[in-house]
Amino acid sequence: MLIIAGLGNPGSKYAGNRHNIGFMAADAIHRRHGFSPWSKKFKAEISEGELGGEKVLLIKPQTYMNLSGEAVGEAIRFYKLQPSDLVAIYDELDLPPGKARLKIGGGNGGHNGIRSLDAHCGKDYRRLRLGIGHPGVKELVQHHVLGDFARADQAWLQPLLETLADNADMLVRREDSQFMNKLALAVGGKAEAEAEADKPKPEKKPAAQSHIHQARHPQPKLPATGPMAEMLKKMFGNKGE
């Protein structure tokens, strides 16, 4: 059995927030694969279904993000599962919008929902991070995370969620690399890579010379004869003497 936990905050107030992309992913899987109606258990909304021939429990903790581990931990203990039987889906500030990363274990990256999961479930579970981008300055992070996705975000958000749901059975079969390729293609990852490769490389300009390098170059020769030479000799003397 596999548990797929989408992280977010409960209630209509938060439904469209960037922080709730984990809930959105769980809902997309639920719609696509005909899971059972959502019900309440383990301080969460849960739904049972099947992916790739294996039983799967979708879970959306209702404890608010910072206590997500309480709900997911209860479910893991109830079904006598291991951290390896868990996939957590959540938002990632440090990834550009639409980009995704999947790995086992690691740090929490300052994400309080993951910090809670680590404390209640152990750390060796798969983490599917979905990029929401960073606002650029620390002071705007909370507003950005708890703000709704903009209309322009739908251009990548819907294809990402739909592709995630369509290929969720790959998570069950642990075909992680193939799954990530599907997500990248959904948001134009391949096209972006090709476009980058097609760009002409800028010509290298000669490196600017440092003042040290310039100082090592031979200086122009001073005049040996004439009025200027005589004046310099009077000022500095003749080094040959």
Q: Active-site residue numbers?
A: 19
Contact present, 126 and 104 (Cβ < 8 Å): yes
- Residue 207's identity, in one-letter code, is A
Taking each helix axis as running N to C, give the angle between helix 189-198 and helix 176-186, from 0 to 180 degrees, rounded to the nearest 10: 70
The partner residues of 2 in beta bridges, in order of sequence, read: 56
CA distance 65 to 77: 20
Phi, psi for residue 80 in degrees, rounded to 5: 55, 50
Among the listed residues 184, 168, 85, the one whose alpha carbon sits nearest the alpha carbon of residue 130: 184
Q: Is 14 annotated as a binding residue?
A: yes
Q: Is 79 annotated as a binding residue?
A: no
Contact present, 93 and 132 (Cβ < 8 Å): yes
Q: Which amino acids are annotated as binding site, given as ranges? A: 14, 64, 66, 112
List binding-site positions for tRNA: 14, 64, 66, 112
